Every structure is written in structure tokens, then in C-alpha cells.
Amino acid sequence: MSDFESKDAAAYQGRIADEPLAILNLLQKTITGMHHIDELFQWLAAQLIEQFQVEAAEIWGLQANLMGQIALQLRTLVTTDTTLPQHVVANNHIAEFASRLFSEQRNYPLQAVNQLFSNYPASTLTRYGQNYIAGYYFHNAVEQLPPARQTPPGISRPAPFTLAILLFQHERRSHDLLAALQVLLPQTVLIARNRGLLAVGPITPYPPSFSPYGMETPLPQNNPAQHLWLLIPHRRRDNELLMSSNPLSRSVDIADKQARRAYSAIDGRKNMDALRQATGLEAQELIRVMKILIAQRRVELYEPGGRPVNPAQFLP
């Protein structure tokens, strides 16, 4: 290697270290006001967007129920463009990609989305300017991840501290995202531990073969009116009891054909984005029929954590 190449390599390594160190120095000052690990994740995702010029950053983690079953959960989603529909970067296709990082325990360097996704999700991403994606897998065998902030008490326990960080870019930048995260994440965990943001107690073993029992996606913190696609429709229980007492009363008494289709597909597990894919309805059409079903008191909307929401906030 020539002296010129050696100097270039040294300068490159310096750039890789400088940006993470700047974030870590800022974190040392900022973390005093944080009380939950999800606050740190939210802050970290925003810093990744600012420092590395990415359009969207999301952090996925594992969550364990009381039986020790492991689920994949979106802990944080931050976007540069607050008008970007959340279902573009938070849907089943993206969850499957995050699950792949956990299963394979590997990183994915920045690649064009059409190299990693099938035609439909790739075209959706590129339509909204999310042309490239990088995936970083991180596992700490010593620490444990507390349940998500919005999880009701008594239903979850700490999970292995394992993350998948997905970064979306409109165009390729000069930053080596994975190398920067490799410097940043171990020190971030150490700072979080010193602040008391990590779980304590017996270590939950990392599952030998990752087989999530569900893909839970909490509502991101910014612009809640755009998070309709993460909500889960449930059939109203009083309406179900009425139908069970009257065998002639089924979804066929819903006059609107598309509303009948949506109602038949509602199972209390699919979120709005999954329901849109299952029914084949366009987004605006599904919104229209959900308004009908809610007005007829057939359906209610719930957050992924199980809390009912006021539909007027999401279906104006």
C-alpha cells in the first residue's frame, strides 16, 4: 500500500470513529433526562438520521412473554419526512426483513431495495424515495432488554438484548453505516446500563432458532394521526354476541360489498396494513369501509399493546 493510500485509509477510519463518538458524547449529556430504554432508542434513531443523512431509522428488538416465547417488536421509528406514510416502512415485509437479521444473526450492507424485496414492497418503497436499505444486527450476551414502554405490566419479561437497526436512504452516501454502528452500539449499551435503563435479574437465553410468535409494532411517537396502519381492528363483542344469538345475522347484512370483505377478514390479529394486503383493497378504500363498520358499531380499533383508541383521531 502506498503512503497516499495509507493516509486515505487512516482518514477514512477517523471519519468512521468521529461521528459515533460525537453521538456518544452528546448522549452522555442527554441521558440524564431519560427514564426508559425506549427514550434512548428514539433519541438514537433521530441522531442516526441527523448524522448519517438517512430518511428513516427503525430499531427492532425482541420481547418475551411470561411463558418465555419470543416476539419481534418495532421499538422505534423516526423519519425525516413526517408526511411519509408509516405503512411504507412499517409493514409485514419490513418485519420479515428484520426477522431475517435475527434469524441469520448477520448484517446487510446498504443495498437497493429491489435486491432484497419482491416487486410490490420494493416499488412501494421507491415510490416514496426509500431506495436503499441497510440492516445492522447487534447482540449483547450479558445485558437484557426491558419490555417496551407501552407494554401493560405483568404480561412481559426481559428479553435478550438483541436489536436489528434498519436504515433507509434516498441515495447512497459516503458513510459506512455498519462500521459506524459497530463503534456506536456497544458504548451506547454501557451508557444505558450505567443510567439504569436495562433490565436486571436472571438472563433470558437467546432462542437457538428464532421463531417469533408475533410481530408487534407499537405506535411511533411522532404524528400519531399517520399511524392508522399499525392499529388492529377488532370485531365488537356485543355485535358478535348478537350474531351468535341470531344465526341469520352475519356479515351478509352489511350492504357495502367492500365493507363485507373487510369485516370477514378482521380477526383481531391483523393490523390495518395487513388487512389491506389480505383484502386487496386500496388504502383509501379500506379507510372508507372502516368508517362504515365503525359507524355501524361493528368494529373497534386497538393499539398493538391492546388499548382501544378513539377512531376519530385516525379516521377524520
CB 67 within 8 A of CB 208: no
CB 217 within 8 A of CB 271: yes
Per-residue model confidence as pLDDT tens for the chain (316 residues): 555 444 444 444 445 567 889 999 999 999 999 999 999 999 999 999 999 989 999 999 988 877 777 778 889 999 998 888 888 898 888 988 998 999 899 999 999 999 999 998 999 999 999 999 999 999 998 999 998 887 767 778 898 999 999 999 999 877 789 999 999 999 999 999 999 999 887 777 766 555 444 455 554 544 444 477 778 899 987 554 444 444 334 444 788 899 999 999 998 888 888 898 889 888 889 999 999 999 988 999 987 767 788 888 777 6
Residues 6 or more apart whose CB falls under 8 angstroms from that of 4 comprise: none
What lies within 8 Å, CB to CB, of 13 at 6+ separation is none
| Helix, strand, coil shares, percent, the chain, to 5 | 45, 20, 35
CA 93 to CA 106: how far, in whole Å?
Answer: 18
Specify the DSSP element, H or E, that contains 134.
strand 132-145
Report the alpha-carbon distance of residue 83 to residue 94 in Å, rounded: 19
Instruction: Give the β-pairing of 156-157 and 56-65.
Output: antiparallel
Q: What's at 296, amino acid-wise?
A: Q
Going 33 to 36 to 39 to 40, the CA torsion angle's sign is positive
Q: What is the pTM of this model?
A: 0.67
Phi, psi (degrees; rounded to nearest 5) at 304: -55, -30
Whether the Cβ atoms of residue 28 and residue 191 lie closer than 8 Å to each other: yes
CA 39 vs CA 34, 55, 57, 148: distances in Å: 6, 20, 14, 10
150, three cell numbers? 407501552
How far is it, in rounded angstroms, from Cα 104 to Cα 122?
Answer: 21
168, burial (CB in 10 Å: exposed 0-12, middle 13-18, buried 19+): buried
Cα–Cα distance between 236 and 240 in angstroms, integer? 6
The secondary structure of residue 148, as a DSSP letter, is P
Work out whether strand 70-79 and strand 215-216 pair parallel, antiparallel, or are unpaired: parallel
